[in-house]
A and B are shown apart, each in its own frame.
Chain A
Amino acid sequence: MASVVLSEAEKLYIVHGVQEDLRTDGRGCEDYRFAEVETGVVSNTSGSARVKLGHTDILVGVKAEMGTPKLEKPDEGYLEFFVDCSANATPEFEGRGGEELGMEIANTLYRVFSSENTVDLKSLCINRREHCWVLYVDVLLLECGGNLFDTISIAVKAALFNTR
């Protein structure tokens, strides 16, 4: 997501191409770049995954800890997300620039993973109202090359799958 300066003619060429479903690298509008998924990369976590999609590189680590369930959902565990946009992802993130984007992505992840279909939260419960598993999911942006939401969701899914 670093800003690239293009001439007017180049922009026009790209826009016309997208109207005809052909991007400059030959893909259609709905085609993905090929992705590389690797699990079990970070040794001191319960589960981890690294996903590379083109130039985007995301590292996710999951740590499982004991905690008390939330009052409105006494027989379910929950997930906590934290997204860290590191400064070496893109120059715009240096200092506090990446925090806003990190908050936005974390909020989206909360909404996506709070529905029943994604993760079975009841299985995270140990004792009703007393103990449950809390999964702390940390997302680290290593390199920012576009399409963050898709890559992060794939990486989180892979890391949760890898969690023991």
Chain B
Amino acid sequence: MAAVSMRLPVARKTVVPAASRGGEKHLVAPGDTITTDTGYMRGHGTYVEDEKLIASVAGVVERVNKLVCVRALKTRYNGEVGDIVVGRITEVQQKRWKVETNSRLDSVLLLSSMNLPGGELRRRSAEDELAMRDYLQEGDLISAEVQSVFSDGAVSLHTRSLKYGKLGQGVLVQVSPSLVKRQKTHFHDLPCGASVILGNNGFIWIYPTAEQKDEEAGGFTTNLEPVPLSDREVISRLRNCILALVTQKLMLFDTSILYCYEASLPHQIKDILKPEVMEEIVLETRQRLLDLEG
């Protein structure tokens, strides 16, 4: 009979903001006036009423020359062209798949934007339409890139490169999209033994690094062999580290995840789920990141 650890609830400590960043942050709530100066252009998260610029979301005001916008902490994903996203297929329709990407509307993956197995280039025929379910079913996870954004905000995806496609065995972690830092590449092979895809929409996919690097027809055939225990432990530890970083509101990128992993090595994997261990690890990570910045 395993022991259950019981705790009494305590008032949650407020997350201490990083004191290193210089300058006061201008925080606003919806309805707060940002400025009454009419010389500014309004960006995302603002609207004009009675010649005043008012915020429509809760977040931080960002000013770039004459452009004022408000960046919210927890939002749904807003698509931008060129972003990498990880999504789950929700529906199989006539010539496309509907993909759930944690945004306001379901994203769309057209059949013509998907690579055929074998890499051949031809017009998609009726047989391809009927065989759609063989490629991707409901519930499958894919990695894709945003091709374009429709006027209502819905996002159109494509998997026209061999590094995108259906994802195999691994673990998915869902976080807020605002915590994923924009970088040059979102596919990282971490030296600890696992690989991670940081989707801009907040879906993070952790999977064991494939030993062989040869491409297999755009990644349709999934590897169904059991994953060894050592890889599993690395993946579970990474998942708990990412959750720890998210609860302490730290930006997610490959260096922060790696430092957090190294800081968590003295602890057992399941101990990382405890709040005090989380705080300790993230504090150490924050310290190392500050030292890195110099």
Contacts and interface: CB of A to CB of B under 8 A. Distances in A.
B272 interface: yes
B236 A13 contact: no
A145 interface: no
A138 B140 CA distance: 41
Interface size class of A (residues with CB under 8 A): 20 to 34
Contact of A37 (B7, B167, B239): B7
Given A22-B236, A38-B9, A12 B169 contact: yes
B229 A20 contact: yes
Contact of A22 (B168, B229, B273): B229
B88 A34 contact: no
Interface string A20-62: 1011111110111111111000000000000010000000000
B58 interface: no
Q: How large is the interface on B (under 10, 10 to 19, 20 to 34, 35 or more residues)?
A: 35 or more
Contact of B5 (A8, A24, A34): A34
Interface in B239-294: 239-240, 268-270, 272-274
B195 to A, nearest CB: 14
A26 B233 contact: yes
Nearest to A15: B226
B169 A24 contact: no
A52 B7 CA distance: 10
A116 B137 CA distance: 54
A31 B6 contact: no
B221 to A, nearest CB: 11
Contact of B226 (A16, A32, A34, A37): A16
B170 interface: yes
B55 interface: no
B139 interface: yes
B126 interface: no
A34 B273 contact: yes
Given A10-B172, A12-B169, A28 B270 contact: yes
Contact of A6 (B139, B222, B239, B269): B139
Contact of A9 (B4, B7, B167, B233): B167
Contacts of B268: 26
Contact of B170 (A10, A23, A38, A154): A10
Contacts of A28: 2, 270
B272 A10 contact: no
Interface in B1-22: 2, 4-9
Contacts of A27: 269-270, 273
A22 B232 contact: yes
A7 B232 contact: no
B141 A7 contact: yes
A58 B4 CA distance: 17
B129 interface: no
B8 A22 contact: no
A67 interface: no
Per CB-CB distance, the 4 closest pairs between chain A and chain B, nearest first, are: A26-B269, A26-B236, A13-B169, A5-B139
Interface of A: 5-10, 12-13, 16-17, 20, 22-28, 30-38, 52, 154
15 contacts: A5-B90, A7-B88, A7-B139, A9-B141, A10-B171, A22-B232, A22-B236, A24-B235, A25-B239, A25-B269, A26-B273, A28-B2, A28-B270, A36-B7, A36-B9
